[in-house]
Structure 1
Amino acid sequence: MRKTCLDMVAAMADRDPRVVFIGSDLSPGLLAGMKEKHPDRYHMEGVSEQHIVGMAAGMAMDGWIPYVNTIATFITRRCYEQVAVDLCLHDLPVRLIGNGGGLVYAPLGPTHQAIEDIAIMRALPNMTIVAPADAEEMKRFMEVSLDWPHPIYIRLAKGGDTVVTGGFDRFAIGKGYLLREAAGGRDAPVLLVGTGIGSTRALGAAERLADDGIACHVLHLPTVKPLDADALLELARPARLVVTVEEHTTIGGLGSAVTDLLVERMDGRVPRMRRIGIPDAFVRRYGGQDDLLADVGITPDAIAATVRDALGGHGVGHGDAHG
């Protein structure tokens, strides 16, 4: 996914003279073709995240569209004040590309595990947050990112992720996509809501639950901010259970955003909810991304088990949505 994203930056730079790439101490050969063709619009700075955000802000004020790339924890935690004051306060069209959202860099420990990046970026006025599920969706998103007038935080997954959005030919910032519609129509008893690879895991859970007679919609929200309120409300109103799935702490991320919306807009008729994500703790165990995701229950089997438990341990057919 990272390669796809950065290749798109280079391709857009070929046709739009406003596009600039700024990196922070990344691989020497990264986007070598762009560096050769557009040396005045390719900047590889040192380990200086505060500097590159300020640099990008200044360039945006002069009419450029900077795409800034480094590890997710560095482009969020390390330069948070600059992101808030230099970018968001002035509502500038800078795109922050964070490598390794969630537990991608699991073997490098908590310093590199971006488990709270969505929460802290979501708190900033004017910030847009996008977490595509796969490389194909990344291509569609990058095309529309060019003319979005606000700052964007782009959360990258590991790469090589299963393509689950191949049935769509467009991307609209702020819109969700129904990856799976339950048999029987729109009024399914369970709504699974995901972002990034959380949507992929939710899709796997829905397939397992279908074998038990439990009908689930799977709503993919690649844009965490702004949320697609219309899609969420339409699918949540008839649901008996809403489950959010994200590779992020359960505090302040997708689950919190969905909960806030439903509490505010459903007038006391909020369905039962479960938020699946990383617990409120730094990960202590050593292992790869999949190992740690399994530890915290972000797998299709664990998600399906959470749904069964929330429903009382028995299957629920389409007709029991309001039971």
Structure 2
Amino acid sequence: MLDEDPRVAVVLADISAASLEAARRRHPDRVINVGIREQALIGVAGGLALAGMRPVVHTFPSFLVERPYEQVKLDLTHQGAGAVLVSWGGSYDMPDRWPHPPVACGRRAHRRHPGLDGARAGAPGRGGVAAA
């Protein structure tokens, strides 16, 4: 996607940074690793979206919507800024590993914040994409 669309940017919070190193070398201005700063992860994505970019945000599910919940609400939803939020390691992927809770909180957020109407939750290979 980075090679095909100059508007796409990837924002990471250390998760998958090593896997995306080659992409970061090719596109250093559009592969951004904010480190272990979940709130900044969403804030940077919101700023990129408002500047006309198409941010793809990636980290563990709980770090994607629980820790930066206020930023999802303020920096994305209230601003009308779009971003693709991608997680790895839901409870069905690694139940015997680290305790990262499932993103049921995403469904609750959708009910409380109508600005998330376009939100979709999906699991590849698990029957497609369902509305959040």
- Please state which band the TM-score falls in when normalised by the shorter chain: 0.7 to 0.9
Q: Map of 1:24-173 to 2, 5 A cutoff?
A: 24-108=13-97, 111-123=99-111, 124-127=113-116, 128-134=119-125
What is aligned with 2:10? 21
Distance 1:126 1:51 in 2: 20
Structure 1: gaps (5+ residues)? 1-11, 135-196, 200-219, 226-323
Shift of 1:60: 0.9
Q: Which amino acid aligns with 1:33?
A: A
For 2:124 and 2:31, the matched residues in 1 are separated by: 27
Write the deviation string for residues 212-245 of structure 1: whole angstroms up to 9, x where unpaired: xxxxxxxx6x1314xxxxxxxxxxxxxxxxxxxx
Give yes or no for contact 1:105–1:113 (8 Å, CA) kept in 2: no
- Indicate if the aligned counterparts of 2:15 and 2:60 stay in contact, CA closer than 8 A: no
- Paired AA for residue 130 in structure 2: T
Larger Rg: 1
Distance in 2, matches of 1:86 and 1:131, equals: 22
Q: Is the 8 A contact 2:34 2:41 kept in 1?
A: yes
| 3-state SS of paired residue (1:40) | coil
Tell me the matched-pair count: 129
How far the C-alpha of 1:95 sits from its partner, in A, is 1.1
Residue 96 of structure 1: CA displacement? 1.0
Distance 1:58 1:115, change over 3 A: closer
More helix by share: 1
* RMSD (Å) for aligned C-alpha atoms: 1.9
Change (3 A) 1:102 1:118: farther
Check whether the contact 2:90–2:100 (CA below 8 A) recurs between aligned residues: no
C-alpha separation in 1, matches of 2:93 and 2:105: 13
CA offset at residue 33 of structure 1? 2.3
Offset at residue 36 of structure 1 (A): 1.6
Please show how residues 284-323 of structure 1 align to structure 2 within 5 Å.
none
Distance 1:55 1:115, change over 3 A: closer
8 Å Cα contact 2:65/2:106 also seen in 1: no
Q: Which stretches of structure 1, 4 residues or more, deviate above 3 A after TM superposition?
A: none
Where does residue 167 of structure 1 map in the other structure? none
Q: Distance in 2 between matches of 1:36 and 1:75?
A: 25
Give 3-state SS (helix, strand or coil) of 2:47's partner: helix
CA deviation profile, 1:188-222 (whole Å, cap 9, x unmatched): xxxxxxxxx3x4xxxxxxxxxxxxxxxxxxxx6x1
- Cα displacement (A) at 1:28: 4.2
How far apart are residue 122 of structure 1 and its match?
Answer: 2.3
**1:240-259 map, 5 Å:** none
Distance in 2, matches of 1:92 and 1:223, equals 21
Equivalent in the alignment of 1:285? none
Deviations 1:141-176 (A, max 9, x none): xxxxxxxxxxxxxxxxxxxxxxxxxxxxxxxxxxxx
Determine the C-alpha separation between the residues in 2 that align with 1:28 and 1:38.
13
- Give the deviation of 1:115 after TM superposition: 5.0
Identity of aligned residues (%): 29
Contact 1:104 1:113 in 2 (8 A): no
